[in-house]
A and B are shown apart, each in its own frame.
Chain A
């Protein structure tokens, strides 16, 4: 068992999401930056869909009541055990009563903590991913107890490292394909979307990232239609909304672009004021 001494700014339990219930209006949820989440699991030999902690902007402070192996990937968050700094993207062994904490976020916005065997929590509609009105709690709270499947393998070489694609944290280019209503845009507006440097607004969350720049348009609204994480909507007032993992299942704004899976991971590591650019991609 683990005790949460400090839950951080916004920390949730996430797996690869809740498939199969979209027709009831249930968002998919799941790890925002799947690349980093999967990598943390891979380091420990976990199944890539094992539940991890997703930390946003600031880290957690956890007290381990039993020994465990963990691994960290994603934004650089300066992890330490009992105050002594440890490496990300390596297996970290914790003894009973040791405390894992984090420092200042250096690069990126979301950090993943995987634990050998995976975190245990209620499986609701096929997933452990926290989401308001689906799971009992929607984020970690102080004094929460976290359970995990204790495996206790012998890791012979804890120096083993895997190559991490840092472009997930550093890239500002989001590869996109055309959305269903892209062709409704004027040629001029289509060009503008790809030539503009765009800014992440303060309205960014697991549900959606709104961008600051406005693109005047006279697109007609559409009949409410299905949307997916990564769909970019253009509102009548000209705002761009990038839908993220916790997004609704349907929407009524024109869907002009669609992010690739890698672009979803990249945008998940961005925060207020960061700049991005769309890059057009074919199939």
Chain B
């Protein structure tokens, strides 16, 4: 698949590459393939490539001398794209406890959406979500695939302290807060796992292009997993 891309200089040492402004798994795959090729080509130089829904930012360690030369190299890499390779992606199982103890907004959510709590839990834990990229906070996954029955505008005024692990819905998105943070999303559960851990390399096991599935657990399991996470004895499971 070849898209019409837009290349532009972003600052003295970075180039932005943009795809059509659509959230789409095929575009994501195309972006990640290109990202892989760029990283491979520039292996010896220190560069950093960041992706989002429809863009890649290539950050060079040195100032760009001739932008046309650099864009030419990137365009050639894209043209020569090798679709033979298969990037390896995982589907991770994320345990979530939807019990009231952790789901301070589930009651309100249920009333506004006129859905029972068990319907909400079912609709939320059924799909396989795509991880488009990580941003906002260290380890915050931008997920695609939330059932439209669960879409609900963000709160007008954000909560000052949403707890680490909170699983929440904001607009058309769902996500997991990787650390305590202010936020305007509706909290419907909590995951005991640590998505982001500075002691691990990489600090986040889940990466752009991976998938996740939520699996409902009870308070007891939540507590058990939390203890294991604290002893560093919990292994994230793949499906």
How far apart sit A124 and B203, CA to CA, in the bound complex (Å)?
A: 10
Tell me the interface secondary structure of chain B in the complex. Answer: loop
Tell me the interface secondary structure of chain A in the complex. Answer: loop
Decide yes or no: A23 and B50 within 8 Å by CB, A133-B179, A180-B18, A226-B57 being known contacts: yes
Interface-facing stretch out of A58-66, A71-79, A102-110, A217-225: A217-225
Interface string of A249-269 (1 = CB under 8 A from B): 111000000101100000000
Q: Is the CB of A225 within 8 A of B53?
A: yes
Please tell me which one of the listed residues A25, A177, A180, A283 contacts residue B137 in the complex, with CB atoms under 8 A apart.
Answer: A25
Q: Is the CB of A223 within 8 A of B10?
A: no
Decide yes or no: A24 and B55 within 8 Å by CB, A133-B138, A180-B10, A250-B133 being known contacts: no
Q: Which of B133-158 contact A (CB under 8 A)?
A: 133-140, 142
Q: Is the CB of A23 within 8 A of B207?
A: yes
How many residues on chain A are close to B (CB under 8 Å)?
Answer: 30
B51 at the interface (CB under 8 A from A): yes
B11 at the interface (CB under 8 A from A): yes
Q: Is the CB of A25 within 8 A of B134?
A: yes
How far apart sit A268 and B52, CA to CA, in the bound complex (Å)?
A: 28
A26 at the interface (CB under 8 A from B): yes
Q: Is the CB of B135 within 8 A of A25?
A: yes
A228 at the interface (CB under 8 A from B): yes
The chain B residue with its CB closest to the CB of A26 is: B138
Q: Is the CB of A125 within 8 A of B198?
A: yes
Q: Is the CB of A260 within 8 A of B135?
A: no
Decide yes or no: A225 and B55 within 8 Å by CB, A19-B46, A24-B139, A24-B196 being known contacts: yes
How far apart sit A130 and B21, CA to CA, in the bound complex (Å)?
A: 35
When distances are taken between beta carbons in the complex, the residues of chain A under 8 Å from B178 are 25
A22 at the interface (CB under 8 A from B): yes
CB distance from A203 to the nearest CB of B (A): 14
Please tell me which one of the listed residues B9, B54, B196, B208 contacts residue A225 in the complex, with CB atoms under 8 A apart.
Answer: B54
Q: Is the CB of B179 within 8 A of A228?
A: no
B174 at the interface (CB under 8 A from A): no
CB distance from B178 to the nearest CB of A (A): 8
Q: Is the CB of B134 within 8 A of A228?
A: no
When distances are taken between beta carbons in the complex, the residues of chain A under 8 Å from B53 are 223-225
CB distance from A179 to the nearest CB of B (A): 8
When distances are taken between beta carbons in the complex, the residues of chain B under 8 Å from A24 are 134, 138-139, 196, 202-204
Q: Is the CB of A248 within 8 A of B135?
A: yes
How far apart sit A25 and B179, CA to CA, in the bound complex (Å)?
A: 12
List residues of chain B with CB under 8 Å of any chain A CB.
Answer: 8-12, 14, 16, 18, 21, 23, 46, 48-57, 59, 61, 67, 133-140, 142, 178-179, 196, 198, 202-204, 207-208
Can you give 11 A-B contacts (C-beta < 8 A)?
A: A22-B50, A23-B49, A24-B138, A25-B139, A124-B198, A134-B198, A224-B142, A226-B51, A226-B52, A226-B135, A250-B52
Additional A-B contacts beyond A25-B196, A223-B53, A283-B9 (20; CB < 8 A): A19-B46, A21-B138, A22-B59, A24-B204, A25-B134, A25-B135, A25-B137, A26-B203, A27-B138, A125-B198, A125-B203, A134-B138, A180-B10, A224-B53, A225-B54, A226-B50, A226-B51, A226-B56, A228-B10, A260-B12
